[in-house]
Structure 1
Amino acid sequence: MTQRVSNGVGGLAHEQPDHVHLNGNGNSNSVANGTNGGVLTVRRKMDRKKSSPMMPAFMVSAPGKVIVFGEHAVVHGKAAIAAAISLRSYLLVTTLSKSKRTVTLRFPDIDFNHTWNIDDLPWSTFSHPSKKKYYYDLVTTVDPELVAAIQPFLADVSPHKDSHERKVHQNSAGSFLYMFLSLGSQSFPGCQYTLRSTIPIGAGLGSSATIAVCLSAALLLQLRTLSGPHPDQPPDEARLQIERINRWAFVYEMFIHGNPSGVDNTVSTQGKAVMFQRKDYGMPPSVRPLWDFPELPLLLVNTKTAKSTQHEVAKVARLKNTHPKLVGSILDAIDKVTESSHELIEEQDFDTENEECLRRVGELMTINHGLLVSLGVSHPRLERVRELVDHEGIGWTKLTGAGGGGCSITLLRPDVPRKKLDRLEEQLEEEGYQKFETTLGGDGVGVLWPAVIRNGMDEDEEGGMEIDLENFLKAEGNEGVEKLVGVHGGGGEREGWKFWRVES
């Protein structure tokens, strides 16, 4: 049996036999020396308690997602395509001094802040031989006994909030503690996890999954069970790392949602896009990564109209029961649109700069939207966005997700005049919409280690702008967060951010 360890971000994980003990630097203490004096010196060094310097503050980021093709049809056994968007969550991980034995979860965007004493947490329950999990395990269910052990530590979370807010905060706290206790140990250093997000909450954009992915990656990095990400990482190794992060992000999602599809956390972890299909609700869905999915220019508009996925899904189910053949044919047509879009994007000569290629994808989006309208899942606010976009000739629009409110996505025509986009933005703002210019099909989980933005400096140069807790908390709104730590920060990709990238 071997123990897998790594020298942290950018280092290559390697195998160590269990009988070799590692010191704080990851070096073997099994030393051969020909002289007694040398052995004695080594022993004295070994007897000294090794100082373990604090891990530098680092940052993890993960993207939200949209469903591009196949909404509602996917509920009835058809395929759908979901893709990452460049709106992201950002998690700053700060290690505390040795004397501070606390762990803090802080999400200022939802006014959530809670601290636990590490030594008071139910480690004995989670470390029992029948319950203990390891970073490489596949966890497919949440253990009711472990959930019960966490409950006393959620009782004093956000006691002065209303019932809805408190439930959200307790869900976040509970799922974090479940992961923290499963992966960590009582010797884990005191830490603060602070999360900011540019993703609207409750809009069907996978905001919960981005938190899951950020926390999963952060904990695995702290445990030194991930190698990379680094530019020369072999694809197979990158896939393994991505899968490890994704598995534990799914545990977080299971704690909150019970039986999630796993699609949101998969897209958020690996980026790009996936094609997914669930033919049997007793089984997990088939999820096929689309590693070569192109980056496409996207306009995302939040209608700010509350939606209920459950209500819209039930509406389509009732319609199908009343008109089984007709609705069945509509769902089949949506499935054909999804299949056609996949074939189109996989064509060797598909070019995101080519207007004809974009037009063909855009037309498929328009058809998909029309079929969803025929199922009754659009909304006047969604149709108004489509009307405004069509009037300006800016691109091709469809609803994304369950409909009945929520968000729309528009594939932008190439070289749209800035004047037209500004005019549309003014109109949308006037009518109470929230608009984001984003990219479809970008990178998945990324790491900024240490939390320093290099701002054009060479990799070998020292220095850069350090991201500390104070300036992270002070960043105002989405623009402030993007300007301070954003992967794209108002321009191209920022120096310092690294991603696990896998291309077929």
Structure 2
Amino acid sequence: MTESSDGMPTPSPSQFGGDGPSVDSQRSPSSTRRPNMLRKPSSPMAPPFMVSAPGKVIVFGEHAVVHGKQAMAAVISLRSYLLVTTLSKSRRTVTLNFRDINLDHTWDIDSLPWDLFHHPSKKKFYYDRVTCLDPDLLEALQPHISNVSPDQPPDVRKVHQGSANAFLYLYLSLGSPQSHGAIYTLRSTIPIGAGLGSSASVCVCLSAALLLQIRALAGPHPDQPFDESEVQIERINRWAFVGELCIHGNPSGVDNTVSAGGKAVIFRRGDYSKPPSVVPILDFPELPLLLVNSRQPRSTATEVAKVGALKEAHPAITEALLDGIDQVTSSAYEFLSSKRFSKDSSEALDYLGTLFRINHGLLVSLGVSHPRLERVRELVDHNGIGWSKLTGAGGGGCTITLVGANRQSAALKRLEAQLAEEGYDLFETTLGGHGVGVLWPAVLKNGSDEEGGEEIDQQKFETAVGNDGIERLVGVGVPDVREGWKFWRRGLMG
């Protein structure tokens, strides 16, 4: 392995084989280039492939993380799936098709502002760390964004144009005017706007797919050394953060970090000009959770601003509340890392459940809860299911419930019926698991009669019905039928 100009090792060619990605097609300008006669001939059109990345929950540390303190975040089994279909050389278009939000827009590749993005003063390379957006580049994208979903209601148009902005910024930063046309089709089982990292999951998928297309990633493969795998995760994560900047303006970076790497992390971002502190929790247990979507719309920016205003009006009190949240996170991390913890122990669940309760109480004091969230906690407590807290920015969105060891199945069914009657969405999910993964080519062993496996084509992917249909077709978490997916893995992940 060699080193790029940022001191990070440049990975060896990918182990995909065939047309799989490698790093040979994009080097630093200072790299030694092979003579033309030694260059590999043009490869045939790449097969359709898929990438997938999970959603996340903040287990502990909401809002404190925005103010430079730590948070614990863990991935959940709800995921985004991106199918990339390469077009022939003669088709000079790129299409963004986010099926579940009815976004389907096509651009002419040759009309995009490549000259500005590739100007020597603006050009970024795949190994660069980008911590802020270039206003000139954003301005150059506006004519290509403004005509996205112009007839949709303002709230829908905002989501569509935010997605298009992130996609084009990444596409033009990482691609080239010679890029093949392609269709990027996304399906997701993650509720949108609920504090579950749906946008970060999408940005991780886009970042990984684009880096794979320019052959800037190595692996994933089962024998990949962890240090090499970590380089790939970080490379994907850096560009996913750029996508998050396009969508949110001032993200903490925790969502894309945990989605890319999987399992769980302790995350702290102080100075935005420097890399965040990320401590992977390599042996984080897979704990069963109930995830309840309140279906109450909320704005992360609004809730963050609310805490900022409280801190300005009552600095000492607010800082004490944020410090308390930070101490809860530290206590949880120390406990999970100790020999006292066992996921099968009722005492361990009681300990974590108490931390859930304390963390939620501090968030209520910051003013970021909502009656719909408090109602979930009331129902969970009444049925003796476990311990609940809000997750994410609050003001709506979701709660997570750590399920107690002594919960009764009858009580759980009763809770499900009560939540459904009052308009909540309930998901049974787990914490932990894999981060970003690749299915190259897009073929799965789905128990079908198709020779070599079932090819996931555009039509099958687009017409899969609901979360269950997506999971049955391409889901990562379905046992025994998912041969083909490969993941970059951190440390001790199995």
- Taking structure 2 as the reference length, the TM-score comes to 0.88
Counterpart contact for 1:103–1:117, Cα < 8 Å? yes
What does residue range 150-189 of structure 1 map to in structure 2 within 5 Å?
A: 150-189=141-180
Aligned to 1:499: 487
Aligned to 1:37: none
CA distance in 1, matches of 2:370, 2:33: 64
**Deviation of residue 192 (structure 1)?**
0.3
Residues 1:291 and 1:13: Cα distance change in structure 2 (over 3 Å): farther
CA distance in 2, matches of 1:70, 1:208: 20
**Deviation of residue 342 (structure 1)?**
0.4
Which deviates more, 291-300 or 213-222? 291-300
Determine whether 1:9 maps to 2:16: yes
What does residue range 312-391 of structure 1 map to in structure 2 within 5 Å?
A: 312-317=303-308, 319=310, 326-348=317-339, 350-391=341-382
Aligned to 1:477: 466
**Deviation of residue 232 (structure 1)?**
0.9
CA distance in 1, matches of 2:239, 2:309: 36
Counterpart contact for 2:373–2:390, Cα < 8 Å? yes
**Deviation of residue 191 (structure 1)?**
0.6
CA distance in 1, matches of 2:325, 2:33: 58
Instruction: State the AA in 2 paired with 1:131.
Output: K
Determine whether 1:83 maps to 2:74: yes
**Deviation of residue 274 (structure 1)?**
2.0
Aligned to 1:271: 262
CA distance in 2, matches of 1:469, 1:218: 16
**Deviation of residue 468 (structure 1)?**
0.8
Counterpart contact for 1:5–1:225, Cα < 8 Å? no
What does residue range 430-441 of structure 1 map to in structure 2 within 5 Å?
A: 430-441=421-432
- Which of the two has higher C-alpha Rg? 1
Determine whether 1:116 maps to 2:88: no
Counterpart contact for 2:87–2:181, Cα < 8 Å? yes
Counterpart contact for 2:447–2:481, Cα < 8 Å? no
Deviations 1:97-131 (A, max 9, x none): 22212111001111111111222222222222222
CA distance in 2, matches of 1:101, 1:313: 42
Aligned to 1:293: 284
Determine whether 1:409 maps to 2:375: no
Counterpart contact for 2:71–2:266, Cα < 8 Å? yes
Counterpart contact for 1:67–1:401, Cα < 8 Å? yes
* Pick aligned residue for 1:18 from 21, 24, 32: 32
Structure 1: runs of 5 or more not aligned: 30-45
CA distance in 1, matches of 2:166, 2:338: 41
Aligned to 1:104: 95
Aligned to 1:488: 477
Deviations 1:343-379 (A, max 9, x none): 0111145332333322221221122223323444322
Counterpart contact for 1:456–1:495, Cα < 8 Å? no
Determine whether 1:452 maps to 2:443: yes
CA distance in 1, matches of 2:329, 2:178: 49
Aligned to 1:234: 225
Residues 1:22 and 1:198: Cα distance change in structure 2 (over 3 Å): farther
**Deviation of residue 149 (structure 1)?**
2.2
Aligned to 2:7: none
Which deviates more, 385-394 or 91-100? 385-394
Deviations 1:278-317 (A, max 9, x none): 4557766533333332221111001111224444445445
Deviations 1:110-169 (A, max 9, x none): 111111122222222222222222111122222222222222222322121123322222
Report SS of the residue matched to 1:357. helix
Report SS of the residue matched to 1:170. helix
Instruction: State the AA in 1 paired with 2:368.
Output: V
Aligned to 1:39: none
Counterpart contact for 2:131–2:273, Cα < 8 Å? no
- Taking structure 1 as the reference length, the TM-score comes to 0.87
Residues 1:148 and 1:316: Cα distance change in structure 2 (over 3 Å): closer
CA distance in 1, matches of 2:137, 2:308: 36
Q: CA RMSD in A?
A: 2.8
* Pick aligned residue for 1:464 from 435, 439, 453: 453
Residues 1:123 and 1:342: Cα distance change in structure 2 (over 3 Å): same
CA distance in 1, matches of 2:115, 2:58: 42
CA distance in 2, matches of 1:501, 1:380: 40
Aligned to 1:130: 121
Counterpart contact for 1:5–1:224, Cα < 8 Å? no
**Deviation of residue 471 (structure 1)?**
1.0
Instruction: State the AA in 1 paired with 2:290.
Output: L
Aligned to 2:185: 194
Counterpart contact for 1:9–1:226, Cα < 8 Å? no
CA distance in 2, matches of 1:314, 1:260: 13
Residues 1:247 and 1:310: Cα distance change in structure 2 (over 3 Å): closer
**Deviation of residue 380 (structure 1)?**
2.2
Counterpart contact for 1:82–1:273, Cα < 8 Å? yes
CA distance in 2, matches of 1:22, 1:437: 55
* Pick aligned residue for 1:400 from 391, 413, 427: 391
Residues 1:164 and 1:377: Cα distance change in structure 2 (over 3 Å): closer
Report SS of the residue matched to 1:194. strand
CA distance in 2, matches of 1:107, 1:14: 28
CA distance in 2, matches of 1:59, 1:242: 16
Report SS of the residue matched to 2:43. coil
CA distance in 1, matches of 2:116, 2:313: 51
Residues 1:173 and 1:75: Cα distance change in structure 2 (over 3 Å): closer
Which deviates more, 104-113 or 94-103? 94-103
Report SS of the residue matched to 2:426. strand
Deviations 1:57-77 (A, max 9, x none): 111111111111122333444
Give the number of equivalent residue pairs.
477
Aligned to 1:92: 83
Residues 1:185 and 1:5: Cα distance change in structure 2 (over 3 Å): farther
Structure 2: runs of 5 or more not aligned: 5-9
Report SS of the residue matched to 2:334. helix
Counterpart contact for 2:80–2:201, Cα < 8 Å? yes
CA distance in 2, matches of 1:200, 1:126: 33
CA distance in 2, matches of 1:267, 1:96: 32
